[in-house]
Amino acid sequence: MKIAITSVNGQLGSAIAMQLISKIGKENVIGIARTPKKAEHLGIEIRKGDYNSLQQFNEALKGVDAVLLISGMDAPEKRIQQHRNVIEAAKNNSVKKIVYTSIVGAEENNAFSPVVQSNRQTEKDIQNSGLDWVIGRNGIYIEPDLEYIETYAKEGEIRNCAGDGKCTYTSRTELGFAYTNMLTEAKHSQKIYNLVGEAITQTQLANYINEVYNTNLVYKPVSIDAYKTERIAELGDFMGTIIAGIYQGIRSGANHVTSDFETASSRAHKSALQIIKDFKIAN
Ligand SMILES: NC(=O)c1ccc[n+]([C@@H]2O[C@H](COP(=O)([O-])OP(=O)(O)OC[C@H]3O[C@@H](n4cnc5c(N)ncnc54)[C@H](OP(=O)(O)O)[C@@H]3O)[C@@H](O)[C@H]2O)c1
């Protein structure tokens, strides 16, 4: 059984690849990357695959039994066709199963919604592909917050527009565990899973970080407009608007969803506190 992972050099792709390798062996995992050189460290066969190229995926998916399609990073209107290239190439190569990393979030009413909608369109395309399929809707991962700790500590606060909204954070490592099971076990056929952990507020997040990192962060809620302006100044129009939309979604409850993690993984999701402790040890 050969399983291929797209965008394998990315942080999510690598986290999944490493767990899959330890479950089924190096010789059975094929990495696909836009820039193959960036994935050499994984020590597996790497093939070239840019989502813009159907031709590259027609080659990359030769002899593959199952493929994990990791959602792209481009503007939402571009992603749909990019993902269709992978689905088409999977069909052309008689790949049996496709697993897709989708996203939890509001389909309308915030600046992140176009991204969520494009993910929903790919979900439909996958369901209509005629291949066996499994879809994970990923929660927000906690790692970017933990990588940002120095800035939080300097400012003494976590500041965003999520207010009292609860967010079911997960981590790339937890997602890696779930997708490894979803790729290798038949029982997940034709299921859509919310891959999320414990629902916490930003105040709880600050408290957990304080407990593990010995910081004194407080949570400071700001308005949606103020946060959007701040993020655009820091990250530019495209990413700044998306990030503000994500926190607006958390504020409105879009990330407070029930979890299917245990069904997908045959074990409970780790607590947010445990994930933060594990991250500190690993970094
Ligand atoms: N749930 C969450 O909290 C969350 C957060 C961020 C992102 N996401 C989503 O999850 C995905 C994986 O996230 P990540 O943490 O692994 O991000 P990451 O570390 O930035 O990796 C992104 C990956 O996408 C690849 N990529 C971009 N454009 C591509 C293209 N045209 N063709 C093929 N590969 C392409 C990149 O390849 P190069 O190295 O060649 O650029 C890289 O491997 C993202 O793409 C995004 O859709 C989710």
Domain that holds residue 37: 3-138+171-196+258-267
Specify the pLDDT at position 241.
Answer: 94
Q: 213, 156 in Cβ contact below 8 A? A: no
Within a domain: 132 = yes
Within a domain: 130 = yes
pLDDT per residue as tens digits for the range 161-189: 999 999 999 999 999 999 999 999 999 99
Specify the pLDDT at position 104.
Answer: 98
Tell me, yes or no, if the pTM score tops 0.85.
Answer: yes
Here the CATH number for the domain that contains residue 8 is 3.40.50.720
pLDDT above 70 coverage of the chain, percent:
100
What is the distance in A from the centroid of ligand 1 to the CA of 216? Answer: 32
Within a domain: 230 = no
Q: Which two tokens stand for residue 235?
A: 């990250």
Residue 50 — pLDDT band, cuts 50, 70, 90?
A: very high
At 258, give phi and psi (nearest 5°): -75, 150
Q: Which two tokens stand for residue 29?
A: 């995992």
Q: Which two tokens stand for residue 145?
A: 């917050």
By DSSP bridging, strand 218-221 and strand 157-160 are: parallel
pLDDT per residue as tens digits for the range 91-125: 999 999 999 999 999 999 999 999 999 999 999 99
Q: How far apart are CA 223 and CA 179, in angstroms?
A: 36
Index of the ligand 1 atom closest to the CA of residue 51: 32
Specify the pLDDT at position 282.
Answer: 94
Q: Which residue from 7, 85, 18 is spatially nearest to 46, judged by alpha carbons?
A: 7
3-state helix, strand, coil in the chain (%, to 5): 50, 20, 30
Question: What residue has token string 């030769």?
Answer: 62
Specify the pLDDT at position 80.
Answer: 98
Q: Which residue from 10, 12, 9, 277 is spatially nearest to 146, judged by alpha carbons?
A: 277
Q: 134, 99 in Cβ contact below 8 A? A: yes
What is the distance in A from the centroid of ligand 1 to the CA of 211? Answer: 30
Residue 158 — pLDDT band, cuts 50, 70, 90?
A: very high
Specify the pLDDT at position 250.
Answer: 98
Within a domain: 162 = no
Structural domains in the chain (count): 1
Within a domain: 158 = no
Within a domain: 97 = yes
Please state, rounded to an integer, the average pLDDT across all residues of the chain: 97
What's the number of CA atoms in the CB half-sphere (13 Å) around residue 149?
20
Q: How far apart are CA 102 and CA 70, in angstroms?
A: 8
Q: Which residue from 66, 261, 90 is spatially nearest to 177, judged by alpha carbons?
A: 261
Within a domain: 186 = yes
Q: 261, 170 in Cβ contact below 8 A? A: yes
Within a domain: 52 = yes
Ligand 1 environment, Cβ below 6 A: 7, 9-13, 34-35, 38, 50-52, 70-73, 82, 103, 138, 140-141
pLDDT per residue as tens digits for the range 237-257: 999 999 999 999 999 999 999
Residue 46 — pLDDT band, cuts 50, 70, 90?
A: very high
Pocket probe mutation, ligand 1, options 6, 8, 9, 12, max atoms within 8 Å of Cβ: 12
pLDDT per residue as tens digits for the range 59-91: 999 999 999 999 999 999 999 999 999 999 999
